[in-house]
Amino acid sequence: MSTAMNFGSKSFQPRPPDKGSFPLDHFDPDWASYTLGVFICLSCSGIHRNIPHVSKVKSVRLDTWEDVQVEFMASRGNAIARATFESRVPPFYYRPSASDCPLLREQWIRAKYERQEFAHPERQEPYSAGYREGFLWKRGRDNGQFLSRKFVLTEREGALKYFNRSDAKEPKAVMKIEHLNATFQPAKIGHPHGLQVTYLKDNSTRNIFVYHEDGKEMVDWFNALRAARFHYLQVAFPGASNADLVPKLSRNYLQEGYMEKTGPKTEGFRKRWFTMDDRRLMYFKDPLDAFARGEVFIGSRESGYTVLDGLPPSTQGHHWPHGITIVTPERRFLLACETESEQRAWMEALRKVVDRPMLPQEYAVEAHFKHKP
């Protein structure tokens, strides 16, 4: 509940942001933009300070407020600002939450208030045109070096392509929009604008890691990929609503981190980087590997999948003490975490997937896993 706040000589009841406003988890923020008339959290106040020609910020509790500023805040509020500055947000445009990386949050605020893209649809052309090309720094699969590569996104062909040379006739890779995902991974990639793009190649996951020095450019690429996915899904599922399609445009990983694993025979435990991407549990020797060393399909409880706390008593060879056993219809997968908190996080992520009923198309994916050599 919002409390009365003193602004100089005035006191009034500020309206808290509604659930549709950004950020999503702050309903009694301590900062305000007195030029925009919105209340904001501490984290967002830092971003607003970087655009002083648009937004000027004060503390609600600590700063002195002039009467005219108080009256302006009282007449505005987050709901009015949202109606003004978010009137034309495309359904595919990613709305960040407080847990998203700083780049996404900054570019949302700049797009909304500084560039006013969501009040003027013609300013959305960089990500809504259905075609985009440009150069991104891409990590080499074998040498790990980032090199400039030409990328082309074309909705008409339903693909994202990249070329090893700007004058190359044939692309090095063609990534079908149907099976493409993108998620920001600044810590993993080592760059604040780092984006991980994944796609299926021969029904196995392939990773590429890219960045651009210009944050707006990188977020525009991300939203252009989401726009292409959105239009593909509109055709693939003509009866689906926007609310049904938007969650399918891109997805963050359910869990990532190091665990130890052992094989189906008597080999010892080895440290591997694991990524939980929907129902695919993948493991890599290095977090930036292009291909997974292996993938495990995690089905539903009704189909014979379970996640158990700990390892069988006879298990040997693991250095980390906190075990997890994944039971599938074919075999058991034995994993070990270094800390109890990591084990709890993995157990929660795995059980969420197991507790979710499988969709019809997921049975086809499961069948492919069962027939892998």
Query: Residue 153's CB: how many other CB atoms inside 10 A?
Result: 24
Query: Rounded to an integer, what is the distance from CA 266 to the centroid of its chain?
Result: 38
Joined tokens for residue 26: 């702050």
Q: What is the pLDDT of residues 92-143, one digit of tens each?
A: 999 999 889 999 999 999 999 999 999 999 999 999 999 999 999 999 988 8
Q: What is the pLDDT of residue 370?
A: 73
Q: Which CATH class is domain 124-248?
A: mainly beta
In DSSP terms, 6 is beta-bridged to 11
Which 8-state DSSP code applies to residue 111?
A: I
- For the chain, residues classed under CATH 2.30.29.30 are 124-248, 255-371
- For the chain, residues classed under CATH 1.10.220.150 are 31-121
Query: Rounded to an integer, what is the distance from CA 251 to the centroid of its chain?
Result: 5
255-371: in CATH 2.30.29.30: yes
Query: Residue 144's CB: how many other CB atoms inside 10 A?
Result: 10
Q: What is the pLDDT of residue 361?
A: 86
Q: What is the pLDDT of residue 266?
A: 61
H helix or E strand, kind and range, residue 150: strand 146-154
Q: What is the pLDDT of residue 364?
A: 86
H helix or E strand, kind and range, residue 83: helix 78-85
Contact indicator for 150, 250 with CB cutoff of 8 Å: no
Q: What is the pLDDT of residue 263?
A: 80
31-121: in CATH 1.10.3720.10: no
Q: What is the pLDDT of residue 372?
A: 62
Give phi and psi for 352, each to the nearest 5: -60, -40
Of 110, 111, 104, residue with least CA distance to 89: 111
Largest Cα span, the chain:
76
Of 262, 271, 258, 272, residue with least CA distance to 316: 262
Complete edge-to-edge strand list for the sheet that includes strand 332-337: 294-297, 280-284, 270-277, 255-261, 332-337, 322-327, 306-309
Q: What is the pLDDT of residue 220?
A: 98
pLDDT < 50 positions in the chain: 1-5, 7-26
